[in-house]
A and B are shown apart, each in its own frame.
Chain A
Amino acid sequence: MTRNTSAQSRHTNSTVTWLFRNHIWLFLGLAIAIFSLASPYFLTVNNISNVLTQGAFIGILAVGMTLVMIDGEIDLSVGAILALSTALAIGLQEQIGVWPAVLAGLASGAALGFLNGVITAFSGMHSFIVTLGALIGIRGIVFIYTGEDALMVQDFSYTEYAEIYLGPVSITALTFFLLALFFQWVLTSTRHGRETFAIGDNIEAAHDAGINIKRHKIINFTICGTMAAVAGILLSMRLGTAEPNAGKIWELWTIIAVVLGGTRLTGGFGSMWKTIGGVMTLAVLRNGLRLLNTPNYVELMVMGAVLILALLLDRVLSSQTEAR
């Protein structure tokens, strides 16, 4: 909160303040500028289209994660849920047909998200523990179901759905943006959204105000699980196979993307815009580093370093705003 009394200085500082508060766009702009200069292939329609698609999988997971995080919780099981929905969507096709299999994949994600939410809300355990358990257990289910082998799609027309493009924007990227926009609307313009912020900001005050905390937490975990399943279905269409290890440690990339965007782990603060920024920054970094032919380890180290820098920057900026 700025405590400026002078409207004049607030006005001149508004752009700077906005950039400080949304520093992710500064990061993203900087990353795009650097890679555009460094590689002639970066700023081409083809490559941008690729970046959007590659980022969209983590992005869809991040949409659900953002809701859960604004609630002050966390979901570590999204990578495992993604793998299970991928496996079901491909594995069940032969028995029950393509679309029922896809529906079953989606339903598994919603059900597991619901389960996470119910356990978190009713047991009083921290969601970190609940979803850490789920991450281990659901991955186990995936390995048991797939028999530790990759499942292959039988009818390859299934993979054509992933090739639907709206101009340069793939259906995967489009799904991500539409979901992000929709849930941004939910966050800002519905009772569920406002109460989600209220719970994350101050759970006791929210409780005293008569907000049904359990219900909102369960809804958000269910959405998060469903989002993971949506990403899983899109992945199954894109690859045509279901690897038991699909989505392994993607929950970490997702958390990194959301936090990088500026949504706070402590809850009560965040937006889908920030998450889009975080997701795209990660995607641009990964794509750019690969275009420059940097070895894999550079990517891993840059990701780690960027995350810590983002935290430091956030610390510096928030202490500055408080001091004002």
Chain B
Amino acid sequence: MTSTNLISGLKKSGLLVAFAVFLGAVALSTDSFLSIGNILNVLRQVSITGMIAIGTTFVVITGRLDLSVGSMLTLLTVLLVDQHNQVGPLLAIVLTLAAAVGLGAFNGLLVGYLKLNALIVTLAMLSFLQGLTLLYSGGSNVNIPNAQTTWFRFFGRSDLLGIPVPVLLFLSVGAIAAFVLTRTVFGRQVYAVGGNETASNFSGVSSARTVFWAYILSALATGFAAIILGSRVMGAQNTIGQGYELTVLAGIILGGTSMLGGSGSIWRTVLGIAMLGFIQNGLLLMGFPYYVQWLVTWVVIIIAVWIDLAGKRGRVLA
């Protein structure tokens, strides 16, 4: 049937074509959109959400959710910046990453081993970690006084070969994560658990252990993001990471990773996050008010996921 062919064609390339059309339209109506400078600028802007999304993709492929990454980003950034002032950058980074692993392990314990509902557990953690952040900071903002001289500025504020370091970190962590997901036993287990948990348990893959490690990766990626964010801002407010979990999820979904688990990839997530970034940047360059991008994000998510589903079942309507 032609309509089926059309749909499957749309599914394969439609999103990219639509995105390319959008890029072209913006490029024609503005001067600077496709300049190297602007592209690097957008990539730098999305590097923090992108970094988190790379980790959270593991969780989503196992068929779970992680709504705690925004609060976790806040807590880790506050911790990192404060410790930077007390024990120096290196120890602060080690401590932050260790804390990230600990928080991820806690999520993983509850969702993986105790088999509690992922949505509710990470929702509870969202609230709990907000409280923990306020407890730690006493409600005040922290700043790094020697922002111009500390080598900590490398992660968020410097360039390497003309490319911003956050972008390099984002892309290299993405490459490593893609390797882990596609070329290692653990990666296969992540897909197996998300695809059919019962079957994977029967074939000797512990779903509890796989989910546990997926949450640790999600948290660890959030730790990396905290390093970039802390270094970029050279300070931390108690709400700095609020709402990141939504953008992260929106990017993952837009990339086409299924919320039911079992499918998806790192490059899809990177693409989804980048698309969000370019849409946002393009709308701003074209002179639309800031919040129009949220409206457009809504429309794009619905259309993208609907096309994806329609392609899979060969029909537009469920």
Contact = CB atoms under 8 A, between A and B. Distances in A.
A136 B301 CA distance: 10
Contacts of B119: 74, 128, 255, 265
Nearest to B309: A124
A132 B250 contact: yes
Contacts of A295: 134-135, 139
A304 to B, nearest CB: 3
A125 B306 contact: yes
B250 A296 contact: no
Given A122-B317, A297-B135, A307-B127, A136 B297 contact: yes
B6 to A, nearest CB: 17
A303 interface: yes
A122 B318 contact: yes
Nearest to A306: B124
B259 A123 contact: no
Nearest to A213: B318
Interface stretch (B108-116, B149-157, B174-182, B185-193): B108-116
B176 to A, nearest CB: 28
Contacts of B128: 300-301, 303-305
A124 B131 contact: no
A62 to B, nearest CB: 14
A140 B294 contact: yes
Contact of A252 (B121, B123, B306, B318): B123
A283 to B, nearest CB: 15
Interface string A121-144: 111111011101111111111011
B299 interface: yes
Contacts of B8: none
B21 to A, nearest CB: 21
Contacts of A256: 120, 123-124, 127
Interface stretch (A3-11, A40-48, A273-281, A308-316): A308-316
A140 B110 CA distance: 34
- Chain A interface size, under 10 / 10 to 19 / 20 to 34 / 35 or more: 35 or more
Interface stretch (B41-49, B140-148, B221-229, B285-293): B285-293
A296 B131 CA distance: 7
A299 interface: yes
B253 interface: yes
B306 A132 contact: no
A308 B302 contact: no
A308 B110 contact: yes
B120 A298 contact: no
Contacts of B132: 297, 301
A28 interface: no
A45 to B, nearest CB: 30
Contact of B250 (A136, A297, A312, A315): A136
B130 interface: yes
B27 to A, nearest CB: 24
Contacts of A130: 302
B211 interface: no
Given A300-B127, A301-B132, A126 B260 contact: yes
Contacts of A171: none
Nearest to A139: B294
Interface string A268-294: 000000000000000000000000000
A111 interface: no
Contacts of A296: 131, 134, 139
Contacts of A134: 298
A304 B295 contact: no
A303 B295 CA distance: 31
With most chain A CB atoms within 10 A of its CB, the pick from B117, B298, B301, B305 is B298
B245 to A, nearest CB: 10
A307 B123 contact: yes
A126 B259 contact: yes
Nearest to A255: B123
B127 A140 contact: no
A295 B124 CA distance: 18
Contacts of B16: none
Contacts of A308: 110, 116, 120-121, 124
Interface string B86-130: 000000000000000000000000100011110111011111111
Given A139-B294, A140-B294, A252-B123, 20 more contacts: A122-B318, A123-B309, A124-B317, A129-B305, A136-B294, A137-B294, A138-B298, A141-B291, A143-B291, A144-B292, A252-B126, A255-B119, A265-B120, A300-B127, A301-B128, A303-B128, A305-B128, A307-B120, A311-B116, A311-B117
25 contacts: A119-B302, A123-B318, A124-B309, A125-B305, A125-B309, A129-B253, A132-B250, A133-B297, A133-B298, A133-B301, A134-B298, A136-B294, A140-B297, A141-B295, A143-B290, A143-B294, A297-B131, A297-B133, A301-B127, A302-B131, A303-B131, A304-B129, A305-B124, A305-B128, A311-B121
Interface of A: 74, 119, 121-126, 128-130, 132-141, 143-144, 148, 252, 255-256, 259, 265, 295-305, 307-308, 311-312, 315
The 9 closest A-B pairs by CB, nearest first: A137-B298, A140-B294, A304-B128, A124-B318, A300-B131, A301-B131, A297-B134, A143-B291, A307-B124
